């Protein structure tokens, strides 16, 4: 088997020595080309090269969720075609690794590599659905190019938290769960739109859902992890279906305390709920509009502010090794 290994040298939970061990383990079982990323977007370019090649059968992403997102967007630059495109394997190397863990892989890079090699030997794989977000035609964001996401996207509050964390990381701070918690509190205290929702969700054949303060779009469950604790904003979300949405219409102090507690204690059977929570399941096409520019994130990557985003849930988009 000919394979391409995309290595993020800045992966937070793997050392250079560990990465060398993993490369040798993979190279012992396949014809492996290992490439270390050198710039933002390099992993996407490598994924695109693999998709356009005639002989690469497997792309292994060694890094965090951002690296995986770039590789996926490169692989799918010409659209989803799971029967033709190389398969994807993920070795978790980031601080959270939501996509890898949602697939059931160990959160340890060495153990995950062992699991991948066993899966390859047993020919164990699955085809997963993905989300696609694009600028909405007829709006000021219509020229924003489409981009795939693997596990979640957020419009409003949670994207603001991601943006704050990225600012701290650019100043040299490590991405820790304590850092995320601090930024959640600061985002809440400074959130200008938490009392009056700006977001409207529109979908074909249904009445619009209005006055949302935030919208979390999920392609799988859990939505994310806080340390080893999985958090379920949309427990019914699945790689086998389209997209789920959790929207909140109020972020007053009591409402935020309630829904924050519900999220922290969420289970595969129950997520945030109540009269200020809106849960929608298995949506193929919908659009989020905002009366004011709001922060937007995909797979934990802050993408600036938007006023409108159109989403598509694509079933059977990519084959992954599990």
Give the separation between CA 233 and CA 246, rounded to whole angstroms: 6
Residue 259 is predicted with a pLDDT of: 94
Residue 198 is predicted with a pLDDT of: 94
Q: For residue 223, give Cα distances in angstroms to 62, 107, 116, 283, 305.
A: 21, 16, 23, 16, 21
Pairing of strands 224-226, 214-218: unpaired
Give the separation between CA 60 and CA 76, rounded to whole angstroms: 15
Residue 205 CB: number of other CB atoms within 10 A? 4
What phi, psi does 90 have (nearest 5°)? -125, 125
CA atoms 8, 12, 16, 19: torsion sign = negative
CB 175 within 8 A of CB 165: yes
Residue 175 is predicted with a pLDDT of: 66
CB 60 within 8 A of CB 116: yes
**Of 147, 89, 187, whose CA–CA distance to 303 is shortest?**
147
Residue 183 is predicted with a pLDDT of: 86
Q: Is 169 exposed, middle or buried (0-12, 13-18, 19+ CB in 10 A)?
A: middle
Spell out a b/e string for 1-13, using b for 16 or more CB atoms within 10 Å of the CB, else e: eebbbbbbeebeb
pLDDT along the chain (322 residues), means of 10: 94 88 94 96 98 96 96 98 97 94 96 96 97 96 97 93 81 74 84 83 97 96 92 97 96 91 96 96 98 95 96 98 97
Could you tell me which residues are beta bridge partners of residue 306?
294
Residue 34 is predicted with a pLDDT of: 96
Token couple for 162:
């991601």
Residue 199 is predicted with a pLDDT of: 97
Give the separation between CA 148 and CA 228, rounded to whole angstroms: 26
Residue 286 is predicted with a pLDDT of: 98
Residue 231 is predicted with a pLDDT of: 96
Q: Give all strands (DSSP E) within the chain, no chain letters.
A: 2-7, 31-36, 58-63, 87-92, 125-135, 147-149, 152-155, 199-202, 209-212, 214-218, 224-226, 229-231, 243-248, 277-283, 285-298, 301-321
């Amino acid at each position: 088997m000919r394979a391409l290994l995309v290595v993020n040298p800045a992966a937070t939970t793997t050392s250079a020595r560990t990465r060398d061990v993993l490369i040798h383990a993979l190279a012992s079982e396949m014809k492996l080309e290992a490439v270390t990323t050198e710039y933002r977007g390099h992993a996407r370019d490598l994924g695109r090269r693999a998709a356009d090649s005639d002989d690469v059968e497997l792309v292994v992403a060694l890094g965090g969720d951002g690296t995986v997102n770039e590789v996926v967007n490169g692989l799918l630059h010409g659209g989803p075609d799971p029967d033709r495109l190389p398969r994807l394997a993920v070795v978790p190397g980031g601080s959270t690794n939501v996509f890898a863990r949602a697939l059931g892989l160990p959160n340890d890079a060495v153990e995950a590599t062992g699991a991948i090699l066993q899966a390859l030997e047993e020919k164990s794989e699955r085809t997963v659905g993905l989300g696609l977000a694009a600028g909405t035609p007829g709006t000021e964001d219509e020229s924003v190019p489409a981009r795939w996401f693997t596990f979640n996207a957020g419009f409003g509050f949670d994207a603001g938290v991601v943006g704050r964390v990225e600012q701290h990381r650019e100043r040299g701070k490590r991405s820790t769960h304590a850092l995320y918690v601090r930024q959640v509190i600061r985002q809440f205290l400074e959130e200008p739109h938490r009392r009056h929702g700006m977001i409207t969700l529109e979908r074909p054949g249904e009445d619009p859902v209005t006055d949302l303060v935030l919208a979390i779009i999920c392609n799988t469950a859990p939505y994310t992890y806080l340390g080893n604790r999985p958090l379920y904003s949309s427990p019914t979300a699945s790689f086998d279906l389209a997209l789920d949405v959790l929207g909140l219409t109020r972020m007053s102090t009591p409402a935020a305390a309630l829904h924050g507690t519900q999220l922290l204690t969420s289970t595969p059977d129950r997520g945030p709920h109540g009269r200020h929570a809106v849960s929608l399941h298995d949506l193929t096409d919908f659009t989020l509009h905002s009366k004011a520019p709001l922060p937007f994130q995909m797979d934990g990557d802050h993408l600036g502010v938007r006023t409108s985003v159109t989403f598509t849930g694509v079933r059977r988009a990519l084959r992954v090794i599990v």
